[in-house]
Amino acid sequence: MSNRIEDLEIYTLSEPFGDKIWFLVLEWDFFAKDTIGKQLVRSADSIGANIAEGFGRYHYKENKNFCYFSRGSIIETKVWLKKAHTRKLIDEDTFLSLIQQLETIHHKLNIYIKYIGKGQQQCPNAPMPQ
């Protein structure tokens, strides 16, 4: 059992995803960055940030609650990616790749949410079994 956030798979998937979005948006012009770009970066970054904040809480119910926030950020990120694709800011291949990565993160987050609190009252931050 580890108490390091870096050992939690869902966190290690979400953080590089946020970085990938950041570097993608950096290439856009000012208007696109200022409108869709900022929202997209914020929502993508909040996926991992909420997982980390929940992990740092001492009660499993708080951890689960922050994971619900993270799940909302996943859905929001999908919306901003769809807008970016529709408005020709990202190509089809990039869009499909990012959506697939989000689907994986979403699926694994749902598994983690179900896992939190199941026999975890004594150790709320125990990482999921691999």
SS (H, E, C) 44-84: HHHHHHHHHHHHHCCCHHHHHHHHHHHHHHHHHHHHHHHHH
Kindly indicate the confidence band of residue 119, based on its pLDDT and cuts at 50, 70 and 90: low
In the chain the domains, ranked by start, together with CATH numbers, are 5-115 (1.20.1440.60)
Rounded CA gap, 105 and 9, in Å? 9
- Note whether 38 and 91 are within 8 A (CB): no
Judge whether residue 60 has pLDDT over 70.
yes
Q: Per the structure block, which two tokens stand in for 43?
A: 């929502």
Q: What does the pLDDT average to over 110-116?
A: 95
Percent of the chain residues past pLDDT 70, beyond the cut: 89
Structure tokens given for 110: 């749902």
pLDDT band at 129 (very low <50, low <70, confident <90, very high): very low
- Average pLDDT score over the chain: 92
Mean pLDDT of 32-44: 99
pLDDT reported for residue 58: 78
Task: Identify whether the C-beta of residue 13 lies closer than 8 Å to the C-beta of residue 105.
Answer: yes
